[in-house]
């Protein structure tokens, strides 16, 4: 809502600057001191533009330039003042628009930075959780390896006991491995 009103306001300012420029022209032509000042400005502008045109068209530049008569000088100066005023108002409007646009872009960039920071924090949290899961996995693996070693150690001790029992003739007492396997076979068909 602000942008269309702002655009409309700048257009109104440009439109209003033309009558103000016309009023400046009118006042410049009336006041004698100001009139003399603008005549000198108009004569200087006439000399500069004439020299530039001669250089562009490759004419002699050392030829004397005839000054404008007083009425033409006043009219040229008044037109120059009006154009300068309109150009100044237009320039101020352009500068204002550029600053407004840059502020808007700065706000958008700040929002993008905040979003990136938010995503960065989310990523850090995810990374922290991932590290926790990985360390938990390492702990579980270590426990699993420890349990596997204990099972292997128990298996070795059981084999040693069986060998000792066979050596002493007590194989029937420690032959529960085969009995368990036969019980498992019998249990499967049901």
**pLDDT digit of tens for each residue in the chain (190 aa)?**
456 666 777 677 667 767 776 776 677 667 888 888 888 888 898 888 888 888 888 877 677 888 888 888 877 887 777 778 778 877 887 888 889 888 989 899 999 888 888 877 778 888 888 888 888 888 888 888 888 899 999 999 999 888 887 877 755 555 555 555 555 555 555 4
Instruction: Tell me how far apart the alpha carbons of residues 101 and 107 are, in angstroms, rounded to a whole number.
Output: 10
69 and 40 co-located in one domain: yes
29 and 111 co-located in one domain: yes
* Residue that finishes a domain, picked among 132, 148, 164: 132
Which residues are CB-contacts of 131 (< 8 A; sequence separation ≥ 6)? none
Instruction: Tell me how far apart the alpha carbons of residues 24 and 39 are, in angstroms, rounded to a whole number.
Output: 15
Predicted pLDDT of residue 24? 67
Give the global pTM: 0.46
- Output the CA torsion sign for 133, 136, 142, 148: negative
Instruction: Tell me how far apart the alpha carbons of residues 150 and 152 are, in angstroms, rounded to a whole number.
Output: 5
> Which residues form the domain of 119?
2-132
- Placement of tokens 């209003």 in the chain: 16
87 and 162 co-located in one domain: no
Provide the domain count of the chain.
Answer: 2
175 and 88 co-located in one domain: no
Predicted pLDDT of residue 185? 55
Predicted pLDDT of residue 190? 47
């Amino acid at each position: 809502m602000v942008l269309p009103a702002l655009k409309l306001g700048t257009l109104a300012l440009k439109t209003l600057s033309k009558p103000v420029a016309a009023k400046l022209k009118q006042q410049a032509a009336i006041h004698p001191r100001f009139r003399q000042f603008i005549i000198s400005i108009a004569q200087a502008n006439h000399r500069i533009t004439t020299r530039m045109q001669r250089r562009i068209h490759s004419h002699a530049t050392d030829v004397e330039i005839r000054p404008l008569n007083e009425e033409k000088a006043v009219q040229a100066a008044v037109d120059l003042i009006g154009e300068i005023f309109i150009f100044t108002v237009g320039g101020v409007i352009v500068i204002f628009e550029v600053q407004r646009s840059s502020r808007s872009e700065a706000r958008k960039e700040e929002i993008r930075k905040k979003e990136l920071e938010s995503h960065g924090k989310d990523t850090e949290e995810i990374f922290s959780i991932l590290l926790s899961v990985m360390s938990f996995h390492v702990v579980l693996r270590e426990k699993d390896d420890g349990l596997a070693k204990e099972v292997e150690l128990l298996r070795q001790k059981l084999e040693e006991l069986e060998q000792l029992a066979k050596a002493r003739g007590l194989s029937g007492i420690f032959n529960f491995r085969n009995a368990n396997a036969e019980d498992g076979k019998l249990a499967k068909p049901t």
